[in-house]
Structure formats: C-alpha cells, structure tokens
Amino acid sequence: MINERFTKSPKEIILDERLLNTLEPEKLNGETLPKQVMEILINDEEIAALQDYANHVSIKRLGFNDHGPVHMRTVCKNSIKMLKLLHKAGINTSLEEEGIGNFADSLTAVIFASFMHDIGMTVGRQNHEMHSGSIALPIIQRVLATALPDAQDVFNMRRRIMIQSMAIEGIVGHMGTQKVHSIEAGAVLIGDGCDMTKGRARIPMALNKEAKQGDIHKYSANSIKKVRITNGLENNGENGKPIRIEVTMSSEVGFFQIEEVLLPKINSSTIKPYVELYAGIEDGELKNYI
C-alpha cells in the first residue's frame, strides 16, 4: 500500500496541463524559469507524498475539507492568474517595484508558495502554515539548485535566496495570521481563499455523518457553485479593478464562506486595493462587497 507509487487523479492531470500552459515562455516574454520549476514540482515524488498525506490528515483524521494536491494546484492556478492580471494592468510585483527581481522571479515564488502552502497539514491543523514553511524550505532549495545551478554564480545564488524567501512569506502568510508585506504573498493569500467551491467539501461531507464543530464551513463551502477570477477593468472600465472575483452559490449559507473565510483574507492582503468582490445566489443579483 504505502510502497506503491502515488498516481494522479484526472483532476490533478487537468490542472497540471492548465498550469503548464499558462506558463509557456512565449506568454512570459521568453522567461523559462516558472515553467521549469512547475514541471519539477508536479512530477516530484516527495511533494506528491506530502500533498497526499496532508489530505489524509485533513479529511480522515481531522474531518476538514480538501487540503491535498487538487486544492494546492487550484490555489496555484488562482494565484498565478491574479499576479498576471496585476501585471497586465501595469502593477509591479514587490520584487519588480524594488528593482531586485523580475516578473518571472515573482511568479516562481508564488508557484512555490501556493503549491506547498498546506503541506504542514501532515503535522496537524494548528500552526500548519508555519510547519508548511519548515517542510517546504529544503524542497525549494533543492528545486532551485536544479533550476538555477552553478553555486559559484553570485547572481544565481542571490536570485535563489530572494525567490525562496518570498515563497516562504507566501506560505506562512496564507492564513492571514502572519502579516504579509509583498504583492506576491498577498496573491497567495487570496488565491487560497478563492478555493471554496463545493468540490472541496464533498469528501468530508460524505465521510462524516455526525454533527461536529466546524461543520458550518463544510456546509457553506458545499453551497458554493463557482468562483470566477476575471479582469475587472474589462467588466467595469475605469470603475473596475484589475482583479474581479465573482462567487455564485446555491443557498444563502454560502455567504458564511464569503464573510468568514474569503473576505478576511482579502482584507489582510497587500493586493486588496486591486480587488473587487461580488457574491450572490445563482441567477440572482450579485452583492458588491468591495
């Protein structure tokens, strides 16, 4: 059982293809580092084992929702999309604004952070963001040593340190319990909050029949039909913002998920000024939160 190689679910495979497609060098001014890192991450056995065991602990031991490979890939997709929307709107990442890195460096840090932000669930829920950072650091160092080799190259060494540090900020800050200061970490924070559709609650809802503390999170998540991240400037012109988040739900219990999970993360994020949030019942009028 535990000696068998981990196999990917169909949903993981689809997400991997989408992630690689959005990171094609021709879409990133010829930059190859983000896609190279992503290719390593999605095929890494250690990361696969960590993601799968994190999900086991979350769902079967603790009775929470999905914190495994599908969730972490979804957060990665969300975070990449938001960072690219900001870039398209002419808003620099922190590394760009400070003149010490480029967009590809920022994107790579966000990829690392979002892809491994919940691996600390292998230890438990409490302080899992801090455990995630500790577990992820040697993996990030190992991957960057392959993607940016030549230890004698001072530029590559400094670039590796910069990317890994930014990635750790995104990991430990994804719960909103630790203040984040960079655009990159702010994108991961909201990217995590946006993964709240009913698919995340499906398995724990099926496994746990008895009422218990925390069930409101699962029931509210189970009512979320869709979360869309789009360009608010295209929707609302000058009145819009670069990132528009639309949440549609099947019942009003979903508003709990918006107001207790997503909204606090947006309020704690460095990219809040660039985000607009709408939510409502399917086929009804959307409420404008921010």
pLDDT digits (tens, 9 = 90+) for 57-94: 999 899 887 889 999 999 999 999 999 999 999 999 99
The model scores a pTM over 0.85 = yes
DSSP the chain: -TTSPP---HHHHHHHHHHHHHT-GGGTTT--HHHHHHHHHHT-HHHHHHHHHHHHIIIIIT-----SHHHHHHHHHHHHHHHHHHHHTTPPPHHHHTTS--HHHHHHHHHHHHHHTTGGGGT-STTHHHHHHHHHHHHHHHHHHHHS--TT-HHHHHHHHHHHHHHHHHHHTTTSSS---SHHHHHHHHHHHT--SHHHHHHHHHH--S--TTHHHHHHHHTEEEEEEE-HHHHHGGG--SEEEEEEESSTTHHHHIIIIIHHHHHHSTTGGGEEEEEEETTSPPEE--
When the pLDDT of each residue in the chain is averaged and rounded to a whole number, the result is: 90
pLDDT digits (tens, 9 = 90+) for 161-197: 999 999 999 999 999 999 999 999 999 999 999 998 7
